[in-house]
Amino acid sequence: MTWASTVSSPTIPESSLARLLAVKRAGLALLFVLGLGAAAGVSSGAVTTTTGTTADPVIADGVTIGSVSVGGLSADDATDAVTTFFETPMPLLVTGHKIAVTPAVLGAKAYIKDAVAAALAAAPDTALTLHVKTNRPKSEAFVRSVAKRFDRAPVDAKLSLRNLRPSVKHQKRGWALRQLRALSAIFGALVADTRDPVQLRVRSLEPKVTKKSIGPVIVIRRGSNRLYLYKVTRPWRVFGVATGQSQYPTPLGRWTIVVKWRNPWWYPPNSAWAKGAKPIPPGPGNPLGTRWMGLSASGVGIHGTPDDTSIGYSASHGCIRMHIPDAEWLFNHVRIGTTVFIVSA
């Protein structure tokens, strides 16, 4: 016997099926639309994204670093501004001259990054100090170079004879840089971060010889047997004298009075004309009178004489004779160091 079986499919009402098909079609349509949108987006590359941008922070208004206003600047701009100012040469004034030096030459270093970082965190209108490290050896070397350039030694007054009369070239004052004070002033300007002119002080150096200190000057005219006394360059008095004989001439040149004796002894010189003579004590008849003004010319001096008749002549053995009262007056008005010019006129 053959068995046949029949399996019947469940029956879905038509109305329900229609609703299912409608939902399916709607889903496919939505997928299709989304697919086209994605395809269009890929093909055109038009993908829109939104990103946030953050501006660089700036320093608050009114903030300063040293002498530089950095308010409203970024860190980079503030660094540039402070660096530019710090590297500006520092003007220096010395003895009327203006020079300049950069911090680099002085070996100075500024902590600019630290100052800018502090400025970014500072409240408005804050004044910040720019910390500067100085270099003493390099700064001292620079100050020494300034001193070498500008120091001036004093110049003494110079006495000479011109047209038979004394002439003086005036003295000049010198100066020397006060190096420690200069170093302190430069360090102060570096630390204060200013570029105002810095005055470097000098100390005055006075000449040893001035026109006034020259004092009296004697000019002896051998040819005319006259002694001219000057108050430096101004005529004072004129005296008749006796000078050396032709065989014992009074030496020409520039000499000074090196010794002054009252009531001198006379000692015979080592010369043929004095051979056998003995020393003569002070008193009447002493060949030197009562005063002796010895010159730097060996064995020669200005002195009084008891032989008044010799005055006005070339009668001595090289010395300059004067009337005793004249010699005494002159003795009181000249000094050791007085210049004596002896000329042939």
Look at the alpha carbons of 315, 316, 319, 325 in this order and tell me if their dihedral is positive or negative.
negative
Same domain? 117 vs 239 = no
CATH code of the domain covering residue 224: 2.40.440.10
Assess contact for 120 and 59: CB atoms under 8 A: yes
Same domain? 78 vs 204 = yes
| Sequence-ordered list of residues with C-beta below 8 angstroms from that of 277, at least 6 positions apart, any chain | 268
Query: CA torsion angle for 114, 120, 125, 129 (degrees, to 10)?
Result: 0
Residue 81 placed within a domain: yes
Residue 168 placed within a domain: no
Same domain? 193 vs 223 = no
CATH code of the domain covering residue 184: 3.10.20
Assess contact for 218 and 338: CB atoms under 8 A: yes
Residue 13 Cα to chain centre, angstroms: 117
Same domain? 236 vs 136 = no
Same domain? 317 vs 334 = yes
Same domain? 198 vs 87 = yes
pLDDT in tens, 9-59: 333 343 433 343 344 444 444 433 344 344 344 344 444 444 556 778 999
303 classed as catalytic:
yes
Same domain? 227 vs 199 = no
323 classed as catalytic:
no
Residue 250 placed within a domain: yes
Residue 326 burial class via C-beta count within 10 angstroms: exposed 0-12, middle 13-18, buried 19 and up:
buried
Question: If you average pLDDT over residues 221-242, what whole number do you get?
Answer: 98
Given 303, 317, 323, 333, the catalytic residue: 303
For 268, the 3-state DSSP assignment is coil
Please tell me the pTM assigned to this model.
0.69
Assess contact for 292 and 261: CB atoms under 8 A: yes
| Sequence-ordered list of residues with C-beta below 8 angstroms from that of 68, at least 6 positions apart, any chain | 78, 81, 82, 85, 130, 193
Residue 312 has a CB neighbour count (10 Å cut-off) of 15
Question: What is the domain count for the chain?
Answer: 2
pLDDT in tens, 85-101: 999 999 999 999 999 99
Assess contact for 217 and 339: CB atoms under 8 A: yes
Residue 7 has a CB neighbour count (10 Å cut-off) of 4
Same domain? 95 vs 194 = yes
Instruction: Say what the pLDDT of residue 331 is.
Output: 99
Domain limits at 77?
58-160+174-209
pLDDT in tens, 137-166: 999 999 999 999 999 999 999 999 999 999
Kindly give the interhelix angle for 179-192 and 136-150, rounded to the nearest 10 degrees.
130
User: What is the spatial distance between Cα 144 and Cα 101, in angstroms, rounded to a whole number?
Assistant: 13
User: What is the spatial distance between Cα 35 and Cα 273, in angstroms, rounded to a whole number?
Assistant: 149
Instruction: Say what the pLDDT of residue 17 is.
Output: 30
Same domain? 78 vs 92 = yes
Domain-ending residue, one of 184, 209, 234: 209
If you count them, how many residues does the chain have? 345
Q: For residue 306, which of 328, 327, 323, 281 has the smallest C-alpha distance?
A: 323
Same domain? 288 vs 327 = yes
Domain-ending residue, one of 209, 235, 270: 209
Same domain? 203 vs 239 = no
Residue 139 placed within a domain: yes
The DSSP bridge pattern shows strands 97-101 and 90-94 to be antiparallel
Residue 90 placed within a domain: yes
Same domain? 276 vs 140 = no
